[in-house]
A = this chain, B = another copy of it.
Amino acid sequence: MRLRNKPWAKEKIASYPHYVIPHPEQYKGRWKEVFGNDHPIHIEIGTGKGKFITEMAKLHPHINYIGIELYPSVLVSALDKLIENELPNVRLLNVNAKDLTNFFAEGEIERIYLNFSDPWPKKRHEKRRLTYRAFLELYEKVLVDEGEIHLKTDNQGFFEYSLVSFSQYGLVLTYVSLDLHHSDFAGNVMTEYEEKFAAKGNRIYRCEAKYPPKHRFA
């Protein structure tokens, strides 16, 4: 995503601590308290301008959503959607996904969404891809037993890479679509990026993968 410089973004984010949690490490293991209920928690890594997460939150009021986004200039748009919609089941974190285990305890998350992640196509950047082995290890640490990753992308190379990376890690693919917008998948919620690229006629790829039971090495 091209980033516009918005020097006021950080300040705006800081003024809505109820929506963009300022020191999320203090809620590690206690996110149920933040939401005031014990509904399942789904996180989106790279939540961007927040269309996906806010629409999902409206459709699924009994799921709690946490959107993680590194860039304040983008996150501020997601914040605007929260302010406008007053959604009780969404929070945002302005943090780096690499630090995920600082913010969430083991088994605290039920599902991770990866939507149109940066594909980092150069081989030497493989470690930055959000489906690289080290990230899959990280996700496993915060997910429940047999937790899920739901991934969408328009990038063919990143999708091919992710399928193999998931499989080699031991995740089981439970759903694959190689052309989501011409499939019978119901209830797709589009991201901003997805709308733009689908309008150009790009194929959207989607998969769901499930971690193996944690007792597999026991």
Contacts and interface: CB of A to CB of B under 8 A. Distances in A.
B173 A167 contact: yes
Interface string A138-175: 00000000000000000010011001100110011111
A14 interface: no
A176 interface: yes
A172 B179 contact: no
Contact of A176 (B160, B171, B174, B179): B160
Interface residues of A, number: 17
A178 interface: yes
A179 B175 CA distance: 19
A164 B175 contact: yes
A171 B164 CA distance: 11
A174 B168 CA distance: 7
Contacts of A176: 160, 163-164
Nearest to A161: B176
A101 interface: no
Contact of A163 (B163, B168, B171, B179): B163
Interface of A: 156, 159-160, 163-164, 167-168, 171-179, 205
Given A167-B172, A167-B174, A168-B172, 5 more contacts: A160-B177, A164-B173, A164-B174, A164-B176, A178-B205
